[in-house]
Amino acid sequence: MTEQLRLMAVHAHPDDESSKGAATMAKYVSEGVDVLVVTCTGGERGSILNPKLQGDAYIEANIHEVRRKEMDEAREILGVQQEWLGYVDSGLPEGDPLPPLPEGCFALEDVEGAAGRLVRSIRSFRPQVITTYDENGGYPHPDHIMTHKITMVAFEGAADAERFPESEFGPVFQPRKLYYNQGFNRPRTVALHEALLARGMESPYGEWLERWTEFERVERTLTTHVPCAEFFEIRDKALIAHATQIDPEGGWFRVPMELQKEVWPTEEYELAKSLVDTSLPEDDLFAGIRENA
């Protein structure tokens, strides 16, 4: 018997799974890979970003329940499994100086303790591959940075019975590879921006690229380009399921689908840890694992 391939995607909020690596997950589901999304918080402090739903009293009063239902719909669309880690959204602090984070939020949790919950999930699901965010969180939201921290601890800790005893966290297991999501990368953004302008079309990326320069965002190493263009429609459908978080007429959807598939038919990752031999660049998160499965 061959070993069942399993992928775990660790995200901060409901909707992150649909905006970061969703087409990749749908691709692997279609190939028979087991995919589990672990959502660290309930997104309780997230703003209602869809103009059509802003001011809705029911949604504002029941945002936690609404976002859980949105997550259920996105999960069904992607064909993945999903579980909640059970922490409370920290919100995105704004202002100068920044206000303190709210008491009891995810970003203020003890890293070792929060990692323990993820260790339990890893040991139960036993994924060979885990994806999460880089040390900057992809962007500096405190929950994204905390998600990075606990995933790094849990990747090593899942195999450490002294640090996380089997009696409490389950039998030890060592994942083989850890990736950072890097779908929002400059080469992709520039390629789509220039393709739109070359066709005489308006680009939604001009301001993004100006901000990229303004904030001096560090360029990441893109080690792995996963071909998944045929699953872009599923990605978009899952994202739209998070109705409070996305405007279906907004910038996310202004690039024609056929142009996306032609110009940039992949999703990108940065290989952060690998316990198997692999050659870079890769086109498969399971490179070095399939051969021995």
Residues in the annotated binding site for Zn(2+): 13, 16, 144
Q: Are 209 and 162 in contact (CB under 8 A)?
A: no
Helix (H) or strand (E) holding 259: helix 257-263
Using alpha carbons, select from 165, 154, 193 the residue that is nearest to residue 10. 154
- 3-class SS string, 111-128: HHHHHHHHHHHHHHHCCC
Which DSSP state fits 37?
E
Longest dimension (CA), the chain: 63
Q: Are 2 and 280 in contact (CB under 8 A)?
A: no
Q: Where is the binding site, in residues?
A: 13, 16, 144
**Pairing state of beta strands 266-274 and 224-227?**
antiparallel
- Give the helix, strand, coil percentages of the chain, each rounded to 5: 40, 15, 45
Q: From edge to edge, which strands make up the β-sheet containing 224-227? A: 81-87, 34-41, 6-11, 129-132, 177-181, 266-274, 224-227
